[in-house]
Amino acid sequence: MEEIKPLPDLSAEEQRVLGSLIEKSRTTPDYYPMTLNSLTAACNQKSSRNPVVNYDEETVTLTLNSLKVKGLISTATGGSSRVIKYKHNIGIVYPLVPSELSILCLLLLRGPLTPGEINSNSGRLYEFDSIEEISEQLQKLSDEAPAFVKLLPKKPGQKEARFVHLLGEQAEVKDAEPDSQQTTIFQPNEALENRIAKLEQELEELKELVNLLMDK
């Protein structure tokens, strides 16, 4: 009988870094594995994140070290670049298929979500056929051993109950409240932030190439 591997108890920083690596492996595969600079930018995105954070590179580096000890990330080097890059291993450590990884990714980055919210935010990660398919996946993730998600009880005023991941405790995150003034001032643009992350990674690799040429 195969031994059941227990789930890790991840800190908030570990959850954000791991979630960001899973997300970018799906949404920007040409720039994955990720440099420290681009991963830090991904963690600090103002869109598709709840809560929004402002990690420095030291925080991300320490978090990567702890995730590496837990076997959930690894480093990659090669080609013309000597820059260290990072990739997640959670799909290797646990038998998770892309659809399940995508659901976990959203829960890691956005906090508790309903099946409908997962459906509306999963397009760039995985194309689900229907909300029913998502509900089936959530049921599977909550029934298997170990369970990766659980259903939270409904809060007063909520129409639907939300699911939460079980990869570590999470701080109480307030639901986003409509704020017309804030909406007018700032509209997060995920595509723009992804483009900036790509440019930062290209710049990092260009710097490394210049250093190599200067060493010759």
What pLDDT, in 10s, does the model give residues 20-54? 999 999 999 999 999 999 999 999 999 999 999 99
Mean pLDDT of all residues in 188-205: 64
- What percent of the chain has pLDDT above 90? 65
| Lowest-pLDDT range of 81-90, 149-158, 201-210 | 201-210
> Which sequence spans correspond to the domains of the chain?
12-172
CA 212/CA 58 separation, integer angstroms: 25
Return the CATH number of 12-172, one of 1.10.10.10, 1.10.1740.10, 2.40.50.140, 3.40.190.10: 1.10.10.10
> What pLDDT, on the 0 to 100 scale, is given for residue 159?
85
Q: What is the mean pLDDT of residues 158-168?
A: 92
Query: Residue 167: pLDDT above 60?
Result: yes
CA 53 to chain centre: 13
Residue 13: count of CB within 10 angstroms of its CB:
18
Q: Please determine, for residue 181, whether its predicted confidence score (pLDDT) is greater than 60.
A: no
Say if residue 102's pLDDT is above 90: yes
Residue 80 has pLDDT above 50, yes or no: yes
For 55-64, 88-97, 150-159, which range has the lowest pLDDT when averaged over its residues?
150-159
| d(C-alpha 50, C-alpha 75), whole Å | 27
Residue 89 to residue 73: CA distance in whole angstroms: 5
Question: Mean pLDDT across the chain, nearest whole number?
Answer: 85
Looking at residue 47, what is its pLDDT? 92
57-69 vs 36-43: helix crossing angle, rounded to 10: 100
The one-letter amino acid code at 10 reads L
Question: Torsion angle of alpha carbons 124, 129, 130, 136, nearest 10°?
Answer: -100
Q: How much is the average pLDDT of 122-149? A: 95
34-48, 99-113, 184-198: least confidently modelled range: 184-198
pLDDT value of position 77: 76
